[in-house]
Amino acid sequence: MRAGSVWFLYDTEKNMPLRVQPEDTAPYGAEEPKLILSPAPKKIPLPDCYDTGEPVVVSRHHIDTNHHVNNAQYVDIARESIPTGLKIIEIRADYKKAALLGDVIIPRVSCGDQGEKQVWTVVLSGDGGEIYAVVWLQTEKR
């Protein structure tokens, strides 16, 4: 399994990003060599047409130490919104806004063909239309 991510450091008191210093990253050990991954767009395009999945009420097990939905939970909710039994080959996630305890997440699911594969886009939104995350899953065709 391989993954790529982009992170930044943010000063919540000054409301501005900070430059990462060596002492910030030192506790995590030596940096691994950079992974060479296939090119991917920074933003996942939103589908025009979709089916609405079963709403998910954010429970305590979804919440992380920052008191909002853990990023991996968004991916799990998206995975549970597509048909079971599919072999997932690749996952991309674009996190937009933190969902909190008690919020309702509504999966909006779109599927398209890509040769021998299927591409699923799951937009995880609130009941007010705000987008919490967009998850893109590539699967083998059944």
Q: Hey, which bits of 2-130 come out as E strands?
A: 9-11, 16-18, 51-52, 56-57, 88-95, 104-114, 117-125
Q: Which CA distances in Å does 108 have to 4, 41, 66, 70, 88?
A: 25, 20, 26, 19, 18
Domains of the chain, first to last = 44-140 (3.10.129.10)
> What is the pTM (predicted TM-score) of this model?
0.77
102-133 residue pLDDT tens: 999 999 999 998 888 999 999 999 999 999 99
43-66 residue pLDDT tens: 899 999 999 999 999 999 999 998
26-39 residue pLDDT tens: 887 777 777 676 77
Q: Is the dihedral of CA 62, 63, 64, 68 positive or negative?
A: positive
The b-or-e profile of 117-138 (16+ CB within 10 A means b, else e) is ebebbbbbbbeeeeebbbbbbb
Residue 51 confidence (pLDDT): 96
